Amino acid sequence: MDKMLKVVIFAGGRGASNIIKAFLGYARVDLIVLVNAYDDGLSTGRLRAFIPGMLGPSDVRKNIVNLIPEGDTATRSLKIILEHRFPDKTSRPVALACLAALVNRERDLPYAPLAQSYQSIKVSQTLWIADYLSLFLAYEQEQWDRGIVFEYGDTSIGNLLFSGCYLACDRDFNRATRAFQEKCEIFGRILNITDGGNQVLVGLKENGTYLADEASIVAVHPDRSKITDLFLLPDYLTAQELASLQELPADQRWGFLNARHVVPDANPEAIAALSQADLIIYGPGTQHSSLYPSYLVAGVGECIENNDKAEKVFIGNIAPDHDSPSATVQELVERFFHYVSAKSTRIPNKTNLITRLFVQGHDNDQIEGVEERRSYLPLNLKDLHFDSKAVTIGDWEESTGRHSGNQIIAELLTLFRQLHDYKLQQHHFLISIVVPALDEVRTVRRVLQDLIHLDFSGFGVGKEIIFVDGGSRDGTLKEALQERFVRCFQLKGEPKGRGAALRLGIAKAKGNIVVFFPADGEYSVNDIVKVVRPILEDQFQCVIGSRAIKCLNVDQVIKNIYGTNTSMYMVSKYGGLLLSFLSLLLFNRYLSDPLSSLKAFDTRLLRSFELVSNNMDLDLEIVARVHQSQTYILEVPVDYAPRTLQEGKKSTVTAGLQALYRFFMCRLFSPKRKSL
């Protein structure tokens, strides 16, 4: 039986959510998410004040929602209920009517936003929802009778449920965290990293400004003055203590706060998880609230250092955040070392705390269109004082500006497979459609729009469209740049050609499935599903959309294309037959249409070949290398509406001969392959 990969990720609420959710696709992963619970902003702060002694449940709730598998309507509906917030200024009677109906398990919920979702959850879920809310409402009524009012506006149902669970667990936060996620039947586990003590997070800026709570730390800082340090206090400063702090010169305030700083004890389960982990991830997010406080916990840094077998990966933020508007990558890393070494009171073994650093880099080859160029966190490797070989600079960004969790995990697991003996089944998450083009101004916009509307959500995968212009002079690139969901590139200098365009597209692809699709409008975008499905189902790694299988009269089709051009008619008709025959003769595999422009590949397979062709011969080079890798090629029938020469058909006799030459050369010379 394959060994489970033990993964621990430091996270907050939203920053690492895409990475955490992506792990749901891997059955052989034992995932533990470590959070701190010092959130005290807005409704969470009101809830903590309403139930003295309770930490903030928001990050626990958010990660529970991240880790609920979306297997059916019931689980999706539960997530909607947990995340639903009462609108601002919701009155107590309105909120109580909804909550009382949930306690009474009224199937026809008198609260429209949740009525349909509540009808879709499991009976067992209605039971524990009723139990936890009844405990919260009983407590709320007691406080009401004492004149203490709770404001329900902007409060999530999930946080109220957790509060009831907290009361049910004798006000033990860690016990409540464990019980609540068990009810939600999540993938993996979520652990509060501390022992559950109710401390508050405060900060100090370099100009001496005191940040009195976690909400102040994560707020926008217009003065751009940096946060110099964080402190965990037993409680918020009293008015007298605050006055004493404000009377001190700015350079003496650190000592005042540090004297009151209390290092929290660790959750024993968190320490055990870090000790046994195979992979430790320091996730992205709001560093000063979501992450740095977690590294301050007693024994965490030493535990990580002592785990010699684990890979430890620091994933940098994509862009500046409110709490660190002018930060650089090296500053984030140095602040990490500061906090994980108990505020630099001990000398850390840096190489045993971070073994790999993932940094967002801007793709300078991509041509910006409608979207504005983003501002990424700057990096200067010389200032990093970190082994440059351990730094991976990549484009990890989704169109939303957040990390592509699936892409990062694929990279992590590829790295892990290279260093350790783990076998994890590949999880398909993104299809990269590469569209090469040269002077296709008439058709390119329509083709790209059809591709944008192509939906793969039913397969549980996303898509990206990579347009590569080969040096068009008719406005093709300008047309492509009008489509904001397309990544656009252009070949510069030499070489140019279909093969060079495809090789650039392969290099830029973020997906683990690559599809070739032309911009000329001759193929149907709906047939992409046909060539992709066998790869998604893990049946094949290479699929070709054959124009020949459904064609009843090839001779007539070729005549329609080339008209009176006899030489091109002869080359196309008999050249195609010759290529099919040579495939059988040279590689013992018959293919009906090796030059089809619609092909799909497993990305790892495609990138394992050191491809060199720049023109139409790339198609045959790939076919030859796939044959030589002992990988089966599946052909599926696709629709084909060819253009005539007058309409822009670009096939030439020279290109056909070059393709034949490449086929023979691939047979004569052994292929070079990169390791998968």
* 3-state helix/strand/coil string of 246-293: HHCCHHHHHHHHHHHCCCCCECHHHHHHHHHCCEEEECCCCHHHHHHH
CATH number of the domain that residue 510 is part of: 3.90.550.10
Question: Of 419, 453, 471, at which residue does a domain stop?
Answer: 419
Is 569 in the same domain as 461? yes
467 contact partners, CB below 8 Å, separation of at least 6: 435, 437, 444, 448, 480, 486, 487, 488, 489, 519
Quick one: pLDDT at residue 364? 74
Task: For residues 94 and 75, give the distance between their C-alpha atoms in angstroms, rounded to a whole number.
Answer: 26
Question: Of 419, 435, 466, at which residue does a domain stop?
Answer: 419
Choose among 198, 266, 267: nearest CA to 234.
Answer: 198
Structural contact between residues 464 and 487, judged by C-beta atoms closer than 8 angstroms:
yes
Q: 29 in a domain, yes or no? A: no
Quick one: pLDDT at residue 149? 96
Find tokens 């740049």 and name the residue. 481
CATH number of the domain that residue 378 is part of: 3.40.50.10680
Quick one: pLDDT at residue 555? 54
Q: In what order do the strands lie in the sheet with 210-211?
A: 210-211, 200-205, 227-233
Structural contact between residues 32 and 8, judged by C-beta atoms closer than 8 angstroms:
yes
3-state secondary structure of 559: helix
Q: 221 in a domain, yes or no? A: yes
Q: 434 in a domain, yes or no? A: no
Structural contact between residues 467 and 487, judged by C-beta atoms closer than 8 angstroms:
yes
Is 159 in the same domain as 176? yes
The residues of the chain scoring below 70 in pLDDT are: 1-2, 369-374, 399-400, 418-426, 550-577, 643-657, 670-676
Q: 13 in a domain, yes or no? A: no
105 contact partners, CB below 8 Å, separation of at least 6: 126, 127, 130
Q: 339 in a domain, yes or no? A: yes
Is 206 in the same domain as 334? no
Is 390 in the same domain as 293? yes
Is 609 in the same domain as 625? yes
Quick one: pLDDT at residue 573? 52
Task: For residues 278 and 283, give the distance between their C-alpha atoms in angstroms, rounded to a whole number.
Answer: 16
> Computed from CA positions of residues 89, 91, 92, 97, in that sequence, does the dihedral angle turn out positive or negative?
negative
Q: Angle 617-628/498-508 helices, nearest 10 degrees? A: 60
Is 550 in the same domain as 573? yes
Q: 133 in a domain, yes or no? A: yes
Is 466 in the same domain as 517? yes
Question: Of 187, 210, 229, at which residue does a domain stop?
Answer: 187
Is 230 in the same domain as 160? no
Quick one: pLDDT at residue 397? 84
Is 278 in the same domain as 397? yes
Which structural domain range is residue 386 located in? 268-419
Quick one: pLDDT at residue 579? 74
Is 387 in the same domain as 467? no
Whole-number Cα distances in Å, 443 to 37, 267, 449, 482, 643: 54, 61, 10, 14, 11
Looking at the 3D structure of the chain, how many domains does it have? 4
Structural contact between residues 179 and 165, judged by C-beta atoms closer than 8 angstroms:
yes
Is 59 in the same domain as 86? yes
Q: 430 in a domain, yes or no? A: no
Is 243 in the same domain as 314? no
Query: Degrees (nearest 5) of the Cα angle 293, 294, 300?
Result: 125
Q: 95 in a domain, yes or no? A: yes
